[in-house]
Amino acid sequence: MPERLSLDEFSRKKGKRKFATVVSDIDKGSLLEVIDSHKSDDIIEVLQAQPQEMRENVKEVSVDMWGGFPKVIKEVFPNALIVIDRFHVMKLVNKSLNKIRLSLGLKGLKNRSLLLKNTCDLTEEEKSDSRELLNKSPCLNIAYELKEELRNIYETSTTIKMGLRKIKKAVRPRSGLPTQGTRTKRMVAFGSIDIWFNSRYFRKTSSRNL
């Protein structure tokens, strides 16, 4: 069994909510197993059929934010670091940024594209349009800046320690963004007034995903 694994879900039948779980070798990009369930107990049962020595050799498991994966990894791969996939983090951030846009009545595919596109990928004309759009709402402007800040952390951090240091710096009160108290361990305001990440999502993120 490889040292770096990926666990992901996919729908077997569109619209039927019937999910399976895919186990892949990250380094080789190869499929190792398809488990015909997305229930944590079923996944654990299948994976525990592998010899314990092989399972203890796994050092990293990359997953999305589904709450059942930490239980699976703890039970099956006791020495593995949980890695929250960057794609899923940014997908949630962009979804929440888009929610703010819609709540402000700023509809249209053009506005959506301007917000979700990376600043560095914008043309000069798009940058001008983007500034005009963001000037319509301080809240939207702050949320967009936070989205770009998180993306920059991923792009520029080469170690876990560096990424966590930047994240802690970014997790601070922002004027213009309403708060909801301290219902979770830490508020991470990246891209949205509604995004609340339990600190484990970042504490256990590997340098390869930062």
The pLDDT score that the predictor gives to residue 175 is: 52
Quickly tell me which residue has 């015909």 as its tokens.
Answer: 36
The ranges assigned to domains in the chain are 4-84, 86-209
Tens of pLDDT, residue by residue over 120-133, are 999 999 999 999 99
Residue 55: count of CB within 10 angstroms of its CB:
19
| Best CA proximity match to 169, nearest among 183, 189, 184, 195 | 189
**Which numeric CATH code is attached to 4-84?**
3.30.420.10
In the chain, the largest separation of any two C-alpha atoms, in whole Å, equals 59
Provide CB contacts within 8 A for 164, sequence distance 6+.
Answer: 202, 203
Task: Tell me the helices (H) and strands (E) count for the chain, helix number first.
Answer: 9, 5
- Spans of the chain below 50 pLDDT: 178-210
The pLDDT score that the predictor gives to residue 37 is: 92
Give the end-to-end CA distance of the chain in Å, rounded to a whole number: 25
Quickly tell me which residue has 């504490």 as its tokens.
Answer: 203
The pLDDT score that the predictor gives to residue 157 is: 84
The pLDDT score that the predictor gives to residue 74 is: 94
